[in-house]
Structure 1
Amino acid sequence: MNSALAGKRPPFRFRPETPMSDEDLMHFCAANDIARVEREVDGEILVMSPAGNRTGRRNAAIISALDTWAQKDGRGYVFDSSTGFTLPDGSMRSPDAAWIEAFRWNALSRADQDRFSPICPDFLIELRSPSDELAALEWKMARWITNGAKLAWLIDPEREVVGIYRPDIEPEILHQPSLVQGAGIIDGFTLNLARIWR
């Protein structure tokens, strides 16, 4: 962990004396690679601990299912939770799983693809871990949509609830679904939740 952060225990927030540029943030993340890091619109840095094992297992199941579908579908690319995206509002966020249409990804320069790319995923999934506050995650989902996501799912394993977020409509809440089906840009993707709920 960076010496400025020594003795602090994630999760925590701090505001650098001077705002971090995208390059500064990349260096900070590399120096603190055991932590998960996001940047808020106002420049505040959120440092989170790595996922616990149950959350990691659940996230692996989600990534596996999404990538299997994406490879068969052929229209886009999947990204895991280690990927940061610089959004139009200036924040940098890392969803647990994301999918971007190939033509949008391929339009980025190689340099942009090698950093926290200036692009919002078309579809993303956030997986609530036991330490995540629900209200903060719901706020984050709304920010994803505001920044250009066409569809976003918030999966809450402890309550067995899925929130489906889309532009211009209220979130749809599913209680104890056995699966959740994609529509629109991810039509054909189905996530079996049996492995997520246990």
Structure 2
Amino acid sequence: MNSLSPVILNLKHVGLSDEQFYQLCQANETWKLEQTAKGELLIMPPVGGLSGNREADLITDLNLWNRQTQRGKVFSSSTIFRLPNGGKRSPDVAWVANQRWESLTPEEQEKFPPLCPDFVIELRSRTDSLSDLQEKMQEYLNSGLQLGWLINPQAQQVEIYRQNQPVEIVQLPASLSGEDILPGFILELPVF
């Protein structure tokens, strides 16, 4: 196992409740934890400088568009979403429409929001398993994701995920559209 690979603990027979998972994360706030819909607890390694910088650029681009349109809320990779299928996931970049966000109680907004984002970006770092990220994107789709981009600098491509459609693969450089989910949002991606 690579020293920068996630540590995976199989907890499907133990069964952490949402509150127990929340408390586990609070007690270990320096660790980045996720839980798959299959019940696996993932202890995620930190990203390096290049991936962290790319992630910051993606959040900035989406947030600038969102400040102009005021259509929703933008979230960083520090936010864990409680997905309807049982997973507890942290996309690198996430966006939730205002109407869905405002339907949550203040406590649900404060803790781990019990919903799937409308839009996510996952950015593959050098040590990320592509198949694990593709599985994560499918988990988002199964939970109601409308649009998702898996950016893979190693292959110089982006996988575009949409409801009830096959995955579309676009080569870099690319100009990606937020389509009907993020009207007017265009992300220009160079060759990495």
Same fold by TM-score, threshold 0.5 exceeded? Answer: yes
Partner of 1:124: 120
| Alignment of 1:11 onto 2:11 | no
Q: Distance in 1 between matches of 2:18 and 2:5?
A: 22
Q: Could you say what secondary structure the match of 1:25 adopts?
A: helix
Partner of 1:5: none
For 2:90, give the aligned amino acid.
S
Matches within 5 A, 1:127-142: 127-142=123-138
Deviations 1:55-101 (A, max 9, x none): 10000000000000011011111011000000111110000001110
Q: Percent of aligned pairs with the same residue?
A: 40
Closer/same/farther in 2, CA of residues 175 and 112 from structure 1, 3 Å limit: same
Q: Could you say what secondary structure the match of 1:37 adopts?
A: strand
For 1:90, give the aligned amino acid.
G
Partner of 2:142: 146
Matches within 5 A, 1:21-100: 21-100=17-96
Q: Is the 8 A contact 2:95 2:118 kept in 1?
A: yes
Q: Scaled by the length of structure 1, what TM-score is found? A: 0.90
In the TM superposition, residue 9 of structure 1 has moved relative to its aligned partner by: 7.4
How many pairs does the alignment contain?
189
For 1:186, give the aligned amino acid.
L
Q: Could you say what secondary structure the match of 1:186 adopts?
A: coil
Partner of 2:184: 188
Q: Give unpaired runs (5+ residues) of structure 1.
A: 1-7
Greater mean deviation of Cα atoms: 15-24 or 51-60: 15-24
In the TM superposition, residue 34 of structure 1 has moved relative to its aligned partner by: 2.6
Q: Distance in 2 between matches of 1:180 and 1:192?
A: 6
Q: Distance in 1 between matches of 2:99 and 2:137?
A: 24
Give the aligned CA root-mean-square deviation in angstroms.
1.6
In the TM superposition, residue 43 of structure 1 has moved relative to its aligned partner by: 2.2
In the TM superposition, residue 138 of structure 1 has moved relative to its aligned partner by: 1.1
Q: Distance in 2 between matches of 1:102 and 1:134?
A: 31
In the TM superposition, residue 25 of structure 1 has moved relative to its aligned partner by: 1.3
Q: Could you say what secondary structure the match of 2:65 adopts?
A: helix
4+ runs of 1 displaced by more than 4 Å?
none
